[in-house]
Amino acid sequence: MTTEQEQQTYLPPALRPKFAKLGVHHLRDLLLHLPMRYEDQTRVRAISELVAGESVVVEGVVEHSETTFRPRRQFVALVRAADDDGGNNFAPRLTLRYFNFYPNITQALKPGALVRVFGDVRDGRYGLEMVHPVFKKADAEVPLGSAGEVSGSAARLTPVYPSAAGVPQAAIRTLVAKARKIADWQQDLLPRAFTEALALPAWRVALDVLHVPSNTEPVMPLETRTHPAWRRIKFDELLAQQLALRDAKSLRSEEAAPKLHPTGLITTLLRQRLPFKLTAPQERALSEALRDMQQAAPMTRLLQGDVGSGKTVVAALAALVAVEAGWQVAFMAPTELLAEQHFNKLSHWLAELPIKLTWLTGSLPAAEMRAAHAACKRGEANIVIGTHALFQKKVSFARLGLVVVDEQHRFGVEQRLQLRQRGQRSTPSPLEGEENLTLTPIVAPHTLMMSATPIPRSLAMSYYADLDVSVIDELPGGRQPIATKLVSEARRGEIVRRIYEAAQQGAQAYWVCPLIEESEKLAEQDVQLQDATALHADLVALMPNVKVKLLHGRMNADEKAAIMKDFTANRIQILVATTVIEVGVDVPNASWMVIEHAERFGLAQLHQLRGRVGRGSVASTCILIFAGKLSDTAKQRLKVIYENTDGFIIAREDLRIRGPGELLGPRQSGLPSLRYANIEEDIDLVEAARDAATKLESDATFNRAAFVDRWIKHRAEFAKA
Ligand code: ADP
Ligand code: MG
């Protein structure tokens, strides 16, 4: 297409901002702006049952009509139901409004005329109205739509498109029709033999069916999106996603990474010091990572395992392999608390071994920060543990060989991008100072990500197509199951007594609140939130001889670390905390978890929080306190968490309740989310798309870029948003 032709295909400027809200930036996008439902024009609706926002056919008698000039020249007709004698002034009426009109309209809409009109119902100043409805006389005995006299509504099924305020259906329909005239855009980019084998229609056929269904098309398969035309659309969307993810992966595989060969020197020592043996899935995950790390292309591996499955030790062993091979490791956690815990754990495991661990977070005093930066830059720090402060521009590494990211789903896209860029600049540029001129080749580090957000297989296949995944699907032995109890707030007294008893016998408990203090309360909510500060004060008063401490995100890092240390050593029995302890925290002796306002937490959060207990050999209990009247989804969530402990099942239920977008959080926001395909329902198409992506890999005639572009062209804009 020439630039000139291209220009003619822009959207009308006045509508652009409104269309942008619908994700439509270009006329071409309208082809894939598909109807959400269809109006059957042969189904006549009674005036009394009209609702604003619907496109309907209405039959009635014109009660009154006139041309008025206020606020501007227009022709208005008031229509009442045909069986209404007009005696009741309060019976519903429909106003028809025309701003452009010709004598044929004023003639046809004379008082007493029986008419059928078709249009969008909206709220007007004097009740419901239609602006510029299509009409015809109803007494003509011709089924509406069949004669073609009513322009634009000759079809029985009229598509209803997703719309926004100020974008009338008619405008969308007109522009869709325009887009459908541009041949380039209707071209099928997949080999026909290919789609035929999958019983899918050609691209153009699919678009035609969805935008202008023929008069014989049954409406059900269109509305339930099971029609082959819909399947073709969904298949293409899933295929584009697979291809885009594979592209990202192959781009990465072109980067050079150091080959990290294990020598066994340090890892053997660590294994000897561990108080346990690795489980079979831990060993398997480790060897998968080590195999990748010996390749010249960077590893991008996700280590997935339920809460408490023992991911940290696998990452620690992989880190030591990188150190053995003479490279540095950056070990990143989403919170200071968690980073600190990893630091303590690794320090403990590696005590007396010749490994330099460096601590780096944003809250370090300036002098220590400088020292930490220098240790990274000179290559003295073997393993640097910290928060995302690790990946700020100022930090450079002499020989970064491996990046470990714990709880990767907690990091935003931006932080992950930064991380990748850090890797690519692992050699300090000469501009940064003369002492950096030691020449090591520019390399990308290997990346090992960890996540306890277990996602269903179908979802993994789709969203993690650019990652290699290792799964730890078994918890270390000797664990006791966690008993979960749902308790109403009214019974708090009993809970306090129970925990007090346990604490006096040396047990430890977390007591989690959703907020820190009164001032944080969301004004519009009248639910009385039990806040951590007040609860702490209460428990201190109620529990003599037991140490109760408060931990929340507003405390400074040293305070937090000191409290965590005391809790780990059982110098504190009850830790009243906010969700700072949600992920990663590991104190095996803690066996009680009390969660206030459990109804306010998401499923993944509840699962993570509960996973803080049940880590040692003592039996653990999780008490979920709920308050107030529960919403339906809150009830569903609590039921799921009460009935299940397996993270995979919980994730599947979460997916069912919330949909994939929310479940994956930031992980997927770098990618456009799926508009039409539904990962769970269309699992057969996900599989077909994955196979197709592999087959098309070697098909030289396939215009891959154009295909992906059709679906993902606004990726850059999405990412910026
Ligand atoms: P997560 O996978 O949730 O990050 P962690 O790595 O924190 O789990 O491990 C949870 C607990 O299990 C830790 O106390 C850890 O030391 C312990 N652990 C890890 N592997 C094993 C094992 N093979 N046998 C026994 N305990 C283990
Ligand atoms: Mg962990």
Instruction: Report pLDDT for 400.
Output: 92
Query: Are the C-beta atoms of 99 and 72 separated by less than 8 Å?
Result: yes
Which ligand has the shortest distance to the CA of 335?
Answer: 2
Helix (H) or strand (E) holding 417: helix 413-424
Query: Are the C-beta atoms of 580 and 608 separated by less than 8 Å?
Result: no
- Spacing, Cα 307 to ligand 2 middle (Å): 7
Least trusted range by pLDDT, from 86-90, 136-140, 175-179, 531-535: 136-140
Pick from 270, 302, 303, 313 the residue to mutate for probing ligand 1's pocket: most ligand atoms within 8 Å of its CB: 313
CB of 312 closer than 6 angstroms to any ligand 1 atom? yes
Average pLDDT over residues 68-89: 84
CB of 276 closer than 6 angstroms to any ligand 1 atom? yes
**Angle formed at CA 226 by CA 225 and CA 227, multiple of 5 degrees:** 95
Query: Are the C-beta atoms of 35 and 183 separated by less than 8 Å?
Result: no
> Of 488, 509, 523, nearest to 567 (Cα)?
509
Instruction: Report pLDDT for 151.
Output: 36
CB of 360 closer than 6 angstroms to any ligand 1 atom? no
Q: How far is CA 112 from CA 157, 615, 688, in A?
A: 29, 80, 59
* Ligand 1, atom nearest to 478 Cα: 25
Average pLDDT over residues 608-615: 89
Nearest residue by C-alpha to atom 10 in ligand 1: 308
Nearest residue by C-alpha to atom 4 in ligand 1: 311
Q: How far is CA 173 from CA 27, 30, 152, 503, 684, in A?
A: 12, 9, 9, 68, 32
Average pLDDT over residues 239-268: 86
CB atoms within 10 A of CB 434: 7
pLDDT in tens, 314-347: 999 999 999 999 999 999 988 887 888 899 889 9
- Spacing, Cα 615 to ligand 1 middle (Å): 8
Kindly indicate the confidence band of residue 461, based on its pLDDT and cuts at 50, 70 and 90: low
CB of 586 closer than 6 angstroms to any ligand 1 atom? yes
How far is the C-alpha of 154 from the C-alpha of 140, rounded, in Å?
A: 16
CB of 612 closer than 6 angstroms to any ligand 1 atom? no
More reliable by pLDDT, 676 or 54 = 676
Query: Are the C-beta atoms of 579 and 515 separated by less than 8 Å?
Result: no
Average pLDDT over residues 10-38: 87
State the pairing for strand pair 127-131/114-124.
antiparallel
Positive or negative torsion for Cα 449, 455, 456, 458? negative
- Spacing, Cα 406 to ligand 2 middle (Å): 7
Average pLDDT over residues 250-261: 86
How far is the C-alpha of 471 from the C-alpha of 393, rounded, in Å?
A: 33
Cis peptide before 35 (omega within 30 of 0): no
pLDDT at 72 over 50: yes
Instruction: Report pLDDT for 236.
Output: 96
3-class secondary structure, 328:
strand
- Spacing, Cα 241 to ligand 1 middle (Å): 35
Instruction: Report pLDDT for 516.
Output: 54
Query: Are the C-beta atoms of 80 and 47 separated by less than 8 Å?
Result: yes
> Of 165, 74, 76, 80, nearest to 115 (Cα)?
80
Kindly indicate the confidence band of residue 669, based on its pLDDT and cuts at 50, 70 and 90: very low
Assign 3-class secondary structure to 561-609. HHHHHHHHCCCCCEEEECHHHCCCCCCCCEEEEEECCHHHCCHHHHHHH
DSSP category for residue 669 = H
Pick from 271, 274, 276 the residue to mutate for probing ligand 1's pocket: most ligand atoms within 8 Å of its CB: 276
Strand partners, 446: 402
pLDDT at 658 over 90: no
Strand partners, 620: 482
CB of 310 closer than 6 angstroms to any ligand 1 atom? yes
- Spacing, Cα 449 to ligand 2 middle (Å): 11
Query: What tokens appear for 187 in the block?
Result: 């071209």
Instruction: Report pLDDT for 320.
Output: 96
- Spacing, Cα 616 to ligand 1 middle (Å): 9
How far is the C-alpha of 114 from the C-alpha of 624, rounded, in Å?
A: 63
Which residues have their alpha-adjacent CB atom under 5 A from ion ligand 2?
A: 584
Pick from 271, 312, 615 the residue to mutate for probing ligand 1's pocket: most ligand atoms within 8 Å of its CB: 312
Kindly indicate the confidence band of residue 19, based on its pLDDT and cuts at 50, 70 and 90: confident
Average pLDDT over residues 693-709: 90
| Displacement of CA 310 from its chain's centroid (Å) | 26
Nearest residue by C-alpha to atom 20 in ligand 1: 310
Nearest residue by C-alpha to atom 16 in ligand 1: 310
- Spacing, Cα 317 to ligand 1 middle (Å): 13
CB of 313 closer than 6 angstroms to any ligand 1 atom? yes
How far is the C-alpha of 215 from the C-alpha of 706, rounded, in Å?
A: 33
* Burial class of 15 by CB neighbour count within 10 A (0 to 12, 13 to 18, 19+): middle
Kindly indicate the confidence band of residue 217, based on its pLDDT and cuts at 50, 70 and 90: confident
- Spacing, Cα 341 to ligand 2 middle (Å): 10
- The terminus-to-terminus CA distance of the chain in angstroms comes to 29
Least trusted range by pLDDT, from 320-324, 525-529, 546-550: 525-529
CB of 476 closer than 6 angstroms to any ligand 1 atom? yes
- Spacing, Cα 415 to ligand 2 middle (Å): 19
Kindly indicate the confidence band of residue 23, based on its pLDDT and cuts at 50, 70 and 90: confident
CB of 191 closer than 6 angstroms to any ligand 1 atom? no
Pick from 309, 349, 406, 408 the residue to mutate for probing ligand 1's pocket: most ligand atoms within 8 Å of its CB: 309
* AA letter at 125: R
CB atoms within 10 A of CB 161: 21
More reliable by pLDDT, 33 or 453 = 33
Instruction: Report pLDDT for 421.
Output: 53
How far is the C-alpha of 493 from the C-alpha of 576, rounded, in Å?
A: 16
What does residue 78 show for φ and ψ, rounded to 5 degrees?
A: -105, 125
* Ligand 1, atom nearest to 311 Cα: 2
State the pairing for strand pair 468-472/300-305.
parallel
Which ligand has the shortest distance to the CA of 407?
Answer: 2
Average pLDDT over residues 654-659: 70
For the chain, what percent of residues have pLDDT higher than 90? 37
CB atoms within 10 A of CB 672: 20
pLDDT in tens, 149-160: 333 445 678 888
> Of 625, 557, 70, nearest to 340 (Cα)?
557
- Spacing, Cα 264 to ligand 2 middle (Å): 24
Which ligand has the shortest distance to the CA of 476?
Answer: 1
**Angle formed at CA 123 by CA 165 and CA 99, multiple of 5 degrees:** 80
- Spacing, Cα 668 to ligand 2 middle (Å): 21
CB of 452 closer than 6 angstroms to any ligand 1 atom? yes
Query: What tokens appear for 706 in the block?
Result: 């154009």
Instruction: Report pLDDT for 653.
Output: 83
What does residue 450 show for φ and ψ, rounded to 5 degrees?
A: -125, 145
CB atoms within 10 A of CB 483: 12
Instruction: Report pLDDT for 433.
Output: 41
For the chain, what percent of residues have pLDDT higher than 70? 83
Nearest residue by C-alpha to atom 17 in ligand 1: 310
Nearest residue by C-alpha to atom 9 in ligand 1: 310
Instruction: Report pLDDT for 378.
Output: 93
pLDDT at 7 over 70: no
Which ligand has the shortest distance to the CA of 406?
Answer: 2
Nearest residue by C-alpha to atom 18 in ligand 1: 310
Strand partners, 59: 116
Q: How far is CA 452 from CA 286, 512, 661, in A?
A: 16, 20, 17
- Spacing, Cα 534 to ligand 1 middle (Å): 33
Q: Quote the mean pLDDT of the chain.
A: 82
* Burial class of 206 by CB neighbour count within 10 A (0 to 12, 13 to 18, 19+): buried
pLDDT in tens, 371-394: 999 999 999 999 999 988 887 777
3-class secondary structure, 350:
helix
CB of 309 closer than 6 angstroms to any ligand 1 atom? yes
Which ligand has the shortest distance to the CA of 306?
Answer: 1
* Burial class of 271 by CB neighbour count within 10 A (0 to 12, 13 to 18, 19+): middle
Query: What tokens appear for 539 in the block?
Result: 């428990």
What crossing angle do the helices spanning 603-610 and 632-643 adopt, rounded to 10°?
30
More reliable by pLDDT, 246 or 112 = 112
- Spacing, Cα 314 to ligand 1 middle (Å): 9
